């Protein structure tokens, strides 16, 4: 019953290696996608924070640089002012292993939105001082 199977390693390698290689490539795509998401989140947080500390109703010209993302294409970003500052961005990524040759390929979409409450630190400090002064005068009487 001792049969030698010549070439079994070649057949096994021909079947296993492409699957492992595709898995590694997909993990790299997922890693780049998550990196771009973290970077986009940080950029939008910074933009929303900068807009939230501006005094009054003025709107800063806060630009989010979308050219620095690794794998995202078609990125757009905007920052809106008001009582609640909202910064949002969107982009997409088409992994080469999933797109295929047709026009309808798999596209991963990334949408991130950050919100910040409009604050006015000097006004808050003045209000606190005014309230403590009124409380102090009430206690003295």
pLDDT tens for residues 12-34?
Answer: 888 888 889 888 988 998 898 89
Domain that holds residue 86: 8-140
| Residue 3, in any domain of the structure | no
Q: Is 28 inside a domain boundary?
A: yes
Domain count, the chain: 1
Cβ atoms within 10 Å of 138's Cβ, excluding its own: 8
| Residue 118 contacts residue 82 (beta carbons within 8 Å) | yes
Residue 78 within a domain: yes
89-134: pLDDT as tens digits = 888 887 777 666 556 667 888 888 888 887 777 777 788 899 999 9
Q: Is the pTM of this model over 0.85?
A: no
């Amino acid at each position: 019953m001792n049969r030698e199977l010549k070439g079994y390693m070649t057949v096994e390698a021909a079947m296993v290696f492409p699957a492992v290689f595709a898995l590694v490539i997909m993990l790299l795509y997922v890693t780049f996608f998550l990196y771009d998401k973290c970077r986009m989140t940080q950029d939008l947080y910074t933009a929303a924070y900068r807009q939230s500390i501006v005094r009054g109703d003025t709107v800063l010209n806060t630009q989010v640089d979308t050219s620095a993302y690794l794998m995202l294409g078609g990125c757009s970003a905007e920052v809106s002012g008001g009582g609640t500052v909202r910064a949002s961005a969107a982009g997409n990524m088409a992994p080469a292993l999933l797109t295929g040759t047709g026009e309808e390929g798999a596209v991963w979409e990334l949408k991130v939105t950050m919100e910040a409450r409009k604050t006015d630190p000097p006004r808050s400090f003045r209000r606190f001082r005014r309230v403590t002064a009124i409380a102090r005068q009430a206690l003295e009487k």
